[in-house]
A = this chain, B = another copy of it.
Amino acid sequence: MARLSVSDLLKTEPTSQDVTVEGWVRTFRSNRFIALNDGSTINNIQCVVDFENLDETTIKSINTGSAIKVTGQLVESQGKGQSVEIQVSDIFIHGGADPETYPIQPKKHSLEFLREKAHLRVRTSTFSAVMRLRSALSFAIHSYFQQNGFYYMHAPIITGSDAEGAGEMFRVSTLDAKNPPLKEDGDIDYKQDFFGKETNLTVSGQLEAETYAMGLGKVYTFGPTFRAENSNTSRHLAEFWMIEPEMAFFDLDANMDLAEDFIKWVIGYVLENCQDDLAFLEKRLLDEEKSKPQAERSEMALIEKLKFVVDNNFKRVSYTEAIDILRNSKPNKKKKFEYPINEWGADLQSEHERFLVEKHFKCPVILFDYPAKIKAFYMRLNEDGKTVRAMDVLFPGIGEIVGGSQREERLDVLKEKMAALNIPEEELWWYLDLRKFGTAVHSGFGLGFERLVLFVTGMGNIRDVIPFPRTPQNAEF
Contacts and interface: CB of A to CB of B under 8 A. Distances in A.
B151 A132 contact: yes
A476 B160 contact: yes
Given A238-B158, A468-B156, A475-B159, A102 B437 contact: yes
A227 B322 CA distance: 49
Count class of interface residues, chain A: 35 or more
Contacts of A467: 153-156, 208, 211-212
A101 B436 contact: yes
Interface stretch (A193-201, A297-305, A346-354): A193-201
A398 interface: no
Given A195-B474, A216-B131, A174 B171 contact: yes
A475 B135 contact: no
Given A95-B409, A208-B467, A430 B477 contact: yes
Interface in A60-116: 65-67, 69, 94-98, 101-102, 104
Contact of A468 (B22, B143, B155): B155
Contacts of A168: 174
A466 B154 CA distance: 7
Contacts of A433: 119-120
Interface stretch (A45-53, A306-314, A363-371, A438-446): A438-446
A119 B211 contact: yes
Contacts of A270: none
B473 A196 contact: yes
Interface in A9-29: 22-25
Contact of A224 (B128, B132, B224): B224
A264 interface: no
Contacts of A98: 436-437
Given A139-B152, A467-B155, A195 B131 contact: no
A94 B438 contact: yes
Interface string A267-293: 000000000000000000000000000
A161 B477 contact: yes
Contact of A151 (B131, B178, B248, B473): B131
Contact of A437 (B120, B172, B472): B120
Contacts of A102: 436-438
A38 interface: yes
Interface in A186-237: 187-188, 194-197, 199, 201, 208, 211-212, 214-218, 223-224, 226, 228, 230
Given A135-B153, A153-B131, A438 B208 contact: no
Contacts of A95: 409, 435, 437-440
Q: Which 9 pairs show the lowest CB-CB distances between chains A and B? A: A95-B439, A122-B215, A39-B216, A94-B440, A39-B217, A195-B475, A67-B440, A160-B475, A135-B151
23 contacts: A39-B217, A67-B248, A94-B439, A96-B438, A97-B436, A97-B438, A98-B437, A120-B215, A120-B433, A123-B214, A128-B216, A139-B143, A155-B468, A156-B239, A159-B475, A159-B477, A160-B476, A161-B477, A170-B172, A170-B173, A171-B172, A197-B475, A224-B224
